[in-house]
Amino acid sequence: MARVAFLGLGVMGFHMAGHLAAKGHEAVVWNRTAEKAKLWAGQHKGEVAKDPAAAAFGAEYVLLCLGDDPDVAEVFAALEPSVGAGMVVVDHTTASAGLARDLYARCKAKGAHFLDAPISGGEAGAKNGALTIMCGGDEDTFSRAEPVMSAYGKKMTLIGGAGAGQLAKSVNQICIAGIVQGLAEGLYFAEKAGLDPARVIEAISGGAAQSWQMENRWKTMVEGHYTHGFAVDWMRKDLRITLEAARENGASLPMTATVDQYYADVQAMGGNRWDTSSLLARLKR
């Protein structure tokens, strides 16, 4: 078992850090809102650190699960004095590949190791310890981090060098955006055509149209319940990062850019915290 610092106890991180403690790792946590860290400590075995540097001091592994590039940059700068030779820093935030490469270089300069490792699976995946983790970095760093990440990860894949994990997460979000919009339009069409959506889904879900979104979200979408999973605000953040990367590498992403604007419409409807399946609400508006 290892001494692990976990920084960021949000919707995902709270459960991820809990799995580490449950697996017997010596866990030290920090969160910008101290009350959340105290709540975590009341439910799990572990310490609460006063700041990022204190959390990282003496840790073998430092795991981050934050919001966006500025959050990661700020927290890493705060813990950087505690980064030492041999330490493994893993960033589970969905952030930019450029930032990942910068942090990789800064860790390497101190004899430490860095892995960008964005996650997929939502709150349910975090609760169940069944997250998918897309990693970028060195193979030996991935091999060292894999046993620790297995506390909350079901599938971990090393995609390539520094930044590759973040770029793979962009691929994930591109695919999800298209699938959810297609499902929303299909359900909207069925309603307008006077069809029973349950029978339609029963008929088509065993064929090529089937998807995780169809299986898990069609019913709540039809019922207008959008309190499940990943929030629209976070999806827009991820799509912003994706579209910025596309401008850098020359990829044309017309569907992704369009769906991003559809999510902007959902935000304008007050759906910032609705889940990503709320694209149907936009069509029915």
- Burial of 91: CB neighbours in 10 Å, binned 0-12, 13-18, 19+: buried
Residues contacting 99, CB < 8 A, separation 6+: 69, 72, 73
The pLDDT, as a whole number, for residue 46 is: 96
Looking at the structure, tell me whether residues 98 and 180 fall in a common domain.
no
Provide the residue range defining the domain that includes 226: 167-284
Cα–Cα distance measured from residue 140 to residue 52, given in angstroms and rounded to the nearest whole number: 25
Looking at the structure, tell me whether residues 200 and 274 fall in a common domain.
yes
End-of-domain residue from the set 138, 160, 182: 160
Residues of the chain with pLDDT under 50: none
- Burial of 120: CB neighbours in 10 Å, binned 0-12, 13-18, 19+: middle
Burial 208-218 (b: 16+ CB within 10 A, else e): eeebebbeebb
Looking at the structure, tell me whether residues 209 and 68 fall in a common domain.
no
End-of-domain residue from the set 160, 192, 211: 160
Q: Are 215 and 202 in contact (CB under 8 A)?
A: no
Q: Are 37 and 65 in contact (CB under 8 A)?
A: no
The pLDDT, as a whole number, for residue 85 is: 98
Looking at the structure, tell me whether residues 251 and 150 fall in a common domain.
no
Residue 108: which CATH number? 3.40.50.720
Q: Rounded to the nearest 10 degrees, how much is the dihedral formed by the CA atoms of 10, 14, 15, 17?
A: 130
Looking at the structure, tell me whether residues 151 and 184 fall in a common domain.
no
Looking at the structure, tell me whether residues 186 and 211 fall in a common domain.
yes
The pLDDT, as a whole number, for residue 55 is: 98
Tokens of 165: 């994990």
Number of domains in the chain: 2
The pLDDT, as a whole number, for residue 45 is: 95
Does pTM surpass 0.85?
yes
Looking at the structure, tell me whether residues 235 and 98 fall in a common domain.
no
Looking at the structure, tell me whether residues 27 and 141 fall in a common domain.
yes
- Burial of 32: CB neighbours in 10 Å, binned 0-12, 13-18, 19+: middle
Q: Is 219 a catalytic residue?
A: no
Residue 266: which CATH number? 1.10.1040.10
End-of-domain residue from the set 135, 160, 185: 160
CA proximity to 213, closest of 192, 241, 185, 183: 183
The pLDDT, as a whole number, for residue 227 is: 93
The pLDDT, as a whole number, for residue 121 is: 92
Looking at the structure, tell me whether residues 19 and 155 fall in a common domain.
yes
Looking at the structure, tell me whether residues 152 and 183 fall in a common domain.
no
Looking at the structure, tell me whether residues 125 and 17 fall in a common domain.
yes
Residue with token string 């017309």: 254
Half-sphere exposure of 29 (CA within 13 A, CB side): 32
Looking at the structure, tell me whether residues 173 and 43 fall in a common domain.
no
Q: Which among 108, 154, 169, 219 is annotated as catalytic?
A: 169
Q: Are 241 and 94 in contact (CB under 8 A)?
A: yes
